Structure 1
Amino acid sequence: MKNTILALAFAFSGMGLYAQEGLRVGIHAGLPIDDFNDEISLMAGLDLGYMWALGEVVDLGISTGLIYGFKESFQSDVIVSGLTDVQFVPLAASVRIWPSNSFSFGIDGGYGLGLNEGNDGGIYYRPIIGYLLGPLTEINLSYTGIQLENRTWNTVSLGFLHTFEFNND
């Protein structure tokens, strides 16, 4: 394990400066899978965070936002009643690795606070793959998991993110 970490550190140290430091604001939308597939038709989210460049290719930061799952209205041509929307506020740490000047991968991890009635929230994780469309604009694909008491919130989403840099000149 130690040799693998050292090899990765040396590999990343030889690459150029690609890290994206600053305030990050974004949106994402996707579909539920597994446990909530029959109850939620679509999910949308807002992302807010701040990233600090730790080196040439690694960013570390904090993130929050809102995840909103819209209740399913129809199932097999039958109108369904009694379902509720599902909402979470994630509070997480973020890590991004930039192996090239346009591609990143990473994960957000922390806790997803449940907002709707009967939703206590749970452990939150969100692996993300991103591609820069411009110097500060990214499109990303992510998987979100929130481990609840008896079920797991799982979604796959596509997102758009913009970084606002602050210069102290």
Structure 2
Amino acid sequence: MKKVLFILLITLSGMGAYAQEGFKLGIQAGLPYNDFNNISSVMVGADAGYMFALGQVVDMGVMTGLVHGFPDSFVESDGLLAVRNKAIDFVPLALTTRIWPSQSFSLGVDVGQAFGVSDGNDGGFYLRPIIGFLFGTYTEINLSHTSIKLDGASWTTLNFGILHTFKSKRTR
């Protein structure tokens, strides 16, 4: 497996210089499924991080953010709406890697720990594979899958996001 990864990285590094470096801010929205499908109806999140160009097509950095799952069920009591389920909140802290096989397309992954900040939520292992498409020089739209392994359950969502790079530089 290590040999395959090494050969892939060598191959991609010779394809041209597309890496981006700089401070990144983003927003995302997603739909929870599996274990939290009936507890949370929609998820929104914010991302912040910094990426370093490690050559021509590979970026690596750190990221953090906020993941907020809105409660799914509401009940009416005496003419007032009350929440039956509670919101689910996480603060991820992760290492992030992006590989740019072309000037407008990237593959990446965020790996780390998501800290639970809502009641009864301890958080867990955080994994988020990402496919990104540049939409302009510094703005990327992306599709991702978030997975947070909790005790006895997994927070999983399919997401759509927008990420903007500030003070980045293209290496060529």
TM-score (norm 2): 0.90
1:44-123 alignment runs, 5 A limit:
44-73=44-73, 81-123=83-125
* Paired-residue identity, %: 54
1:1-169 alignment runs, 5 A limit:
1-73=1-73, 81-165=83-167
Spell out, residue by residue over 1:31-74, the C-alpha distance to the aligned partner (whole angstroms, 9 max, x if none).
Answer: 00100000101000000000000010000000000000000135
Change (3 A) 1:136 1:34: same
Asked if 2 retains the 8 angstrom alpha-carbon contact of 1:72 and 1:80, the reply is no
Deviation for aligned residue 1:10: 3.0
Q: Which runs of 4+ in 1 moved over 6 A?
A: none
What amino acid maps onto 2:27 in structure 1? I
Q: Tell me, which stretches of 5 or more residues in structure 2 are unaligned?
A: 76-80
Distance between the aligned counterparts of 1:68 and 1:52, measured in 2?
Answer: 28
Q: Tell me, which stretches of 5 or more residues in structure 1 are unaligned?
A: none
Asked if 1 retains the 8 angstrom alpha-carbon contact of 2:125 and 2:150, the reply is yes
Change (3 A) 1:54 1:73: same
Asked if 2 retains the 8 angstrom alpha-carbon contact of 1:33 and 1:155, the reply is yes
Spell out, residue by residue over 1:56-112, the C-alpha distance to the aligned partner (whole angstroms, 9 max, x if none).
Answer: 00000000000000001359xxx9853100000000000000000000011001000
Q: CA RMSD in A?
A: 1.7
Distance between the aligned counterparts of 2:150 and 2:27, measured in 1?
Answer: 23
Asked if 1 retains the 8 angstrom alpha-carbon contact of 2:20 and 2:168, the reply is no
SS at match of 1:56: coil
Change (3 A) 1:165 1:115: same
Deviation for aligned residue 1:134: 0.8
SS at match of 1:35: helix
Asked if 2 retains the 8 angstrom alpha-carbon contact of 1:25 and 1:162, the reply is yes
Question: Which has the larger share of strand?
Answer: 2
TM-score (norm 1): 0.91
Asked if 1 retains the 8 angstrom alpha-carbon contact of 2:73 and 2:84, the reply is no
SS at match of 2:151: coil
What amino acid maps onto 1:100 in structure 2? S
Distance between the aligned counterparts of 1:31 and 1:158, measured in 2?
Answer: 9
Asked if 1 retains the 8 angstrom alpha-carbon contact of 2:138 and 2:168, the reply is no
Change (3 A) 1:32 1:134: same
